[in-house]
Amino acid sequence: MVGYQLEMGGRLNQLRDFFTSRRLVVVSNRLPYNPSRTSGGIRYVKGSGGLVTALDPILRLSNGLWIGWDGGTGAPIKGRRVTISEPEGEGSYQLRFVDLTEKEISHYYYSFSNRTLWPLFHNFIGKSNFNSAHWKTYFKTNAYFAGTILEEANPSDIIWIQDYHLSLVPNFIRYQNPELSPYFFLHTPFPPYDTFRVLPWCKPILEGFLGSEKIGFHVKGYADNFLDCVQKILNVNVDRESGIIELEERNVKVGAHPISIDYDAFHDMALAKRVTKRVEKHRRRIGDRVIILGVDRLDYTKGIKERLLAVERFLEKHGKFRNRILFIQVAVPSRTRVDEYRIMKKEIDETIGRINGRFTGEGWPPIHYIYRSLSREELVAYYRLADIALITPGRDGMNLIAKEYIASQVDKDGVLVLSEFAGAADELTEALLVNPYDIQTVSETIYKAIRMSSREKRRRVEKMQDLGKRRDIYHWVRDFFGEIDQL
């Protein structure tokens, strides 16, 4: 078992002893820094996701390497390798760029990854597209990623492959160099057997996963679904109690490790003067209305349309609140090249227009729609402002927005309404859990949240904040690697 003691202070220092003696190689579809052209040359902008937040400092500690695609920015990279080193950062690490052709971007990323695996893994079978040409490109692109890893990695490295885009990579690595030991984490749900077996290439996808030493999922239910599929489709022995898959030559460990956020960063930002001033400015403008907030990437899995219908039902049933609530929906543009997403945006735009047309009286319309990315400071200000967070995806691997909202509740007076189909519902049990497809119940839960006493709000927020402090993003990394006996 890993022999390092964890101290309460200094989240990053808790990982120092573990990673300074070995190099971390992270592999994902996208790199953590986005290159862009400027008058002074190429500038690298750090992403804001939870994975980047957790792994960027760890990669610096281990002089690590992150392998991935640049996202199609078109910025020319000489030598396909860049060293990331910031004045305020500790140490440095390298980015290795995987160059994708237009066909690979179209077939591997936009098509097979996002129009086949993404909907299937979220139980939206009807939206899955099964195309053998897309599968062949996905297969070849995964082999290409694996080849890049083989060029770069040493047997002493920790190779951590991330997400469904690269599900075949572990097995490619294992087949070509058994001395390398890849690990894998899936950031989406994993579907039940009756859903997953619909995929014509379900067997090679499972075999791809099983090239790993260890496979991580957000919650136990996803891990159980995976074990079930391995047992029934591959006819492999599975020890469900220990989460061990027994292959002929070795065992594979499967476990649940819920990803989280940098709790302290969000909590501290919520207390910052700049954020407080933003909140006060918003509140003067909005007045004493009850603020309900939704924040999502624009995706059909997020349940945005159903949420809007629940707000409409609330306004129908509780007429006295028609001029007393404001629902703010932040929708971050996503996959704008995919037809289904353009159609979905049009439907959401029309639904918002119709509801506002019905219920706008004197003053504010009931729905304020923000279709763009927000800076973290802007977002945290909205978290603090919101009396209620309405986080109701139809299906979600985890949903870090819910955790960010709780971390930002420095006044402890907010209410989290959360879909029971989000992975976060397994942890945030003090939220008001709802079935997002039950429009009537979501509507009544909004009313319940508005009527909740200050004492009850504080009790619930404090319990969820205590969990957030203990199980932050750095705990996620420790938790995943802490069970690996041989490290």
CA distances from 299 to 29, 285, 393 (A): 19, 30, 9
Q: What pLDDT band is residue 421 in, cutting at 50, 70 and 90?
A: very high
The helix/strand/coil state of 38 is strand
> Alpha-carbon dihedral of residues 434, 435, 437, 438, nearest 10 degrees?
-70
Domains and CATH numbers, the chain: 13-260+473-481 (3.40.50.2000), 263-469 (3.40.50.2000)
Q: Say if residue 357 is exposed, middle or buried (CB neighbours under 10 Å; 0-12, 13-18, 19+).
A: exposed
- CA–CA gap between residue 237 and residue 243 (Å, rounded): 11
User: Model confidence at 76, in pLDDT bands (50, 70, 90)?
Assistant: low
Output the pLDDT for position 41.
Answer: 73
- Enumerate the H helices of 179-272 as residue ranges: 193-196, 202-209, 220-233, 263-271
pLDDT at 141: 98
Return the higher-pLDDT residue of 176 and 12. Answer: 176
Which pLDDT does position 271 carry in this prediction?
98
CB neighbour list of residue 38: distance below 8 Å, 6 or more residues apart: none
Q: In this structure, what are the phi and psi dihedrals at residue 34, rounded to the nearest 5 degrees?
A: -100, 120
pLDDT category of residue 80 using cuts at 50, 70 and 90: confident
**What's the rounded Cα separation, in Å, for the pair 57 and 170?**
24
Residue 4 has pLDDT above 50, yes or no: no
What is the pTM (predicted TM-score) of this model? Answer: 0.93
Minimal CA–CA distance to 300: which of 163, 126, 134?
126
Residue 32 neighbours by CB distance under 10 Å: 23
Instruction: Work out the angle at residue 173's Cα, subtended by the Cα atoms of residues 172 and 178, and round it to the nearest 5 degrees.
Output: 120
pLDDT of residue 403 exceeding 50: yes
Asked if residue 172 lies in contact with residue 143, where contact means CB atoms within 8 angstroms, the answer is: yes
pLDDT level of residue 9 (50, 70, 90 thresholds): very low
Please indicate whether residue 80 or residue 468 has the higher confidence score (pLDDT): 468
- Contact by Cβ (8 Å): 174, 191: no
User: Tens digits of per-residue pLDDT, 293-338?
Assistant: 999 999 999 999 999 999 999 999 998 998 899 999 999 988 877 7
Determine the pLDDT at residue 484.
54
Residue 72 confidence (pLDDT)? 73
Q: In what order do the strands lie in the sheet with 237-239?
A: 81-84, 93-97, 65-69, 24-30, 158-162, 182-185, 214-217, 251-256, 244-246, 237-239
